[in-house]
Amino acid sequence: MINLLAINRITNYTPRQKYLLYGQYKTGAAILKHHTKTEALFAKAFKINGESFERNTVLRDAGKELDFCANHDIEVLGIHSDLYPDCLRNIEDPPLVLFAKGNTSLLRKTNAVAIVGARRASNRSITMAYSLARAIGKSGTLVISGLAAGIDYYAHKGAVDGTGETIAVLGNGINVVYPKSNADMYDSIMNTGLIVTEYPLGTGPLKYHFPQRNRIISGLSLGTVVVEASGSSGALITAAFALEQGREVMAVPGRAGLESFEGNNRLIKEGAHLVESAEEILDILGIDYEGSERRAKKLPFSPLECNILKVIGDDRVSIEEIEGVLDDPISHISSALTKLELNGAVVQHPGKIYSRVN
C-alpha cells in the first residue's frame, strides 16, 4: 500500500496514465522499482508539485500518511482491495487509491444515484435536490454528490435526513473541509454516510481537481441527475463522464431561455432523460421504490402547519418573518416547523431560514 500511496502523490501524471502503469506492472512496488522504464513510457520524469520525485523521501512521506490514516479512522483502499467498488474499478481511469472515512460498507451498495448541479442555485432547485435525495434515500438507494455548496449540499442533506446513507466525493484531501461553510454537513456525513477522495492528505482544493473528481461521482453511480446547470457548469462534466462510462444521464427541465438552466435543457435536447420526481429517476434505473416517500401515507398538516406553508410559499423565509405574519407564539411556530421538517415538508437553511419541499 505504501508504494501505491507514493505513486498517488505524483502530480504530473493523469489518473489514466497511472492506471496504465499499474496495468502493465501489476503492483506499485514494480512501478517504483523500474521507475526509469515506467517514466520512459510517457517520456516524463515523475514529479510532485513541480519537484523531482525522490523515491526514499516519497516512501517515507507515504508511510507517515498511512500511519496518520490508521490513527484517525481513515481507510486507505488500494484498487486491489476487496472494499474497492467494482463499478469504479471498471471505468477507464479509476483512482489507484481511495481514502475513505465513515461507513465504508456503502461502497458495496450497487444502487446509487448521483445528484449534482450549480453552487449558486435557485431556491426551486435547492428544494428539488433536497426532496429528490430524501425520497431516493428512503427507497434504499444511495445518494452521491460532491459536497460543494448549493445543489451538492442539499442533495447530501436530503439523504442524511432520509436514511443517512450518502457518499461525498471530495476534490481535496480527506482532512481538508471545503468549503468551510459545509463543515456541518461534513460532520453529519461522517456519522452515517461516507466521505471519499483520491487526493493525498492535506491536498488543497485546486481548481483542476474538481473536474477530475467528477469521474468518481459518476463512476460510483448507476446514473447522474443534473438539477440545475448553466452552459458552463461543472455538473455537465459529471454528465459527460457518466455517458462515457455507460451510465444513465437525467436532467430536471428549466424554463426556456433561462441561462441557469441552459445546461439542463441542452442535455435533454441531446437525449438525456427528463425527470421531475424520484419515482421517474428510480424507474429509469430499474430500481424498486416501494419505500419511496410518495407511496407512503402522508400525514395531515395541522391548521398552523398549513398557515406556515402558505407564508413560506415559493420563497425562503426566516422564522421571524413567519412570526410577523401569524398571530401564534414563536414557540408554537418553532414546534410546527420542526414537525414539518421531520415530515419532509420544509427544509431548514443556516440561520433558521426555511423553504418548502414540493
For 68-125, write each residue's pLDDT tens digit. 999 999 999 999 999 999 999 999 999 999 999 999 999 999 999 999 999 999 999 9
Range 248-268 average pLDDT: 93
- In the chain, % helix, strand, coil (3-state, to 5) comes to 50, 15, 40
Q: Give the pLDDT of residue 290.
A: 65
Per-residue pLDDT band at 358 (split at 50, 70, 90): low
CATH fold, domain 105-295, is Rossmann fold (3.40.50)
What's the one-letter identity of residue 318? S
**Strand pairing partners for 75?**
100
Query: What residues does 251 pair with on adjacent strands?
Result: 226, 274
Q: For position 36, what pLDDT does the model report? A: 82
Which tens digit of pLDDT belongs to each residue from 138-192?
999 999 999 999 999 999 999 999 999 999 999 999 999 999 999 999 999 999 9
Is the pLDDT score of 294 beyond 80? no
Residue type, 209: H
Return the closest-CA partner of residue 128 out of 311, 243, 251.
251
Domain with CATH 1.10.10.10 in the chain: 303-356
- Given a cut of 90, whether residue 356 has pLDDT beyond it is no
Is the per-residue pLDDT at 275 higher than 80? yes
- Most confidently predicted of 25-34, 37-46, 171-180: 171-180
Q: Where in the chain is the domain with CATH 3.40.50.450?
A: 105-295
347 forms beta bridges with: 355
Among 206, 134, 140, 125, which Cα is nearest to 170's?
206
* pLDDT tops 70 at residue 299: no
pLDDT-based confidence at residue 339 (cuts at 50, 70, 90): confident
In the structure, what pLDDT confidence band is assigned to residue 335 with cuts at 50, 70 and 90?
confident
Three-class SS of residue 291?
A: coil
pLDDT value for 298: 47
Weakest mean pLDDT among 21-25, 69-73, 217-221, 237-241 = 21-25
145 and 136 in contact (C-beta within 8 Å)?
A: no
Tell me, what's the pLDDT at 304?
87
By the 8 A CB rule, do 137 and 163 touch?
A: yes
Distance of CA 186 to the CA centre of its chain: 11
The pLDDT value given to residue 197: 98
Res 352: pLDDT:
86
Please list the residues that pair with 274 across neighbouring strands. Answer: 251
What is the CATH number assigned to the segment(s) 303-356? 1.10.10.10
Q: pLDDT value at position 296?
A: 38
Query: DSSP letter at 164?
Result: S
pLDDT tops 60 at residue 328: yes
Determine the pLDDT at residue 332.
85
Q: Residue 224 corresponds to which amino acid?
A: T
Using the predicted structure, report yes or no on whether residue 293 has a pLDDT greater than 70. no
Phi then psi dihedrals of residue 356, to 5 deg: -80, 150
